[in-house]
Structure 1
């Protein structure tokens, strides 16, 4: 049926034009979504682009335009720098199996258009990939795994560029294509460059499946060794918009974790140093106080006391006083002056023992 319809389109001269390049046939599982890129020429940068649904161009209906708001079912975006507009169809059902047209409005002329056929199946698609949006790091490698059930030649092509059948290079990146007995087709891109960013598609027989690759600089927190990103196919394609958001969020989380680790590495030695300095200061202070307290003992304090001595002399009476047999003796008290140093209860006991000591000396004068 598709062959007869394509032949009819060729006969009517409505099979498209050379101003737009896109895929020719894609297969998607029901309930999923598909994004199709459409490459246009530079003179149409400021023109309105749109998606038209229907097998016959003259009777197709506009699904979405770049000058309209996106709907839940259809969305469109225009990358004027790369000259590619993309159309996305969500929540696919078997009713979405149809011919679609990537088109560019031409004022006062015939619009440019190029069609592709979308096949929606309830089982596993004949050719699909886990996700259409893939991110890699400059200089690294990535593996893109396709699940395929159809036969035919396999190729890896860049939108508007060259193709590789088994091995080769595209824009400086090395390309290797390998197939397994389980029906998995692996495309390996080595030595990614900034120029490697863009739209590609895998070809297997008459089917194509586009993917978008974004190459970024490697974050500082990631080791310099090459890392391989492996994409395992799932039963349902993922919307490339949500996949991009998840990948960007993952990059932010890695950077936040790196900042947290750097802070911890800085804080732990600083806390240890502060603790050691505090303990050392406390020990010095206690040692100084202990030395002041035990510096003056009672014996030392007694040694500092001042003692005054007085000499007592005996004088014999004169002739007029011979009758007084007793000698007159004069005594003087010896006063002990207390020191002004610090005094404790133990010192006071010693002071009380020696505070009333009296010394005297008696000398007889002939």
Structure 2
């Protein structure tokens, strides 16, 4: 059996869960593995997606009271040793070949507690800021010197899967790439997507920036997640404009990306989804862990990075959007840089276990 330990919530967002569901689908297909998910009952969770995809859900209880927690333990709503103890209770009744962990709230302390109850541990990470007790570590992001990134943080026997060639992309993106349209640099369609939660409402900021352009001839597709607390206001705004179209919790993201001429969005997994479909993007980081990745991507010219959300204004988005619309060569250059990166980072087989 393969067990995933991952959470989703209004605070965490949906990205960690969605990439685990992507990996689970491939493991079920290639390994015919029995798969279960251990997830906590957090506010705004998307745990129903686990069961709707046909996987067993083992639910950790909602915390009775919120303790004084710091850092990413706030995401867990309990101390990590408490979480590990509760997780252990589920693992004791299973025969677990692999435990796959995707949470910034866990480190070696958590993994040491559950280690006796599983054969091997895989960690999905991109922070490289803490020690792990794991056999495989996957970091799908682009860094200048990835080989040194986890030095001293993982055991010597740990297999490192580093770089965009290991990006966890859903099957729809591979299908979309086969019929990817050739963009000529002109802008007729813009996509806005800031992840599942978008706690700081960057979606509305981007909408207001585009409205200032007064380009009703350009179609705008707006995607929000089910856990977005502002989704009703965003939908109401979109309904007031004939050229703006609202979508919530879509299952055809690749298709909508393929239709777009450029995107406005956050960092994270969406970076590699856009890159895989050669979709230029104006990027605003909405979490601290996205900043280094965005800066590295800006350095090699695969995104137009504006900065962290609190520093980015509607006017900044408006100005760069105007440049994208007016300067076809600028957009095409980003597209070429994406293709060059893909040539250097060819998709690899991550299902090596």
Q: With structure 1 as the length reference, what TM-score do the two structures score?
A: 0.21
User: Which structure shows the bigger proportion of residues in strand conformation?
Assistant: 1
Q: Which has the larger radius of gyration?
A: 1
User: Which structure shows the bigger proportion of residues in helix conformation?
Assistant: 2
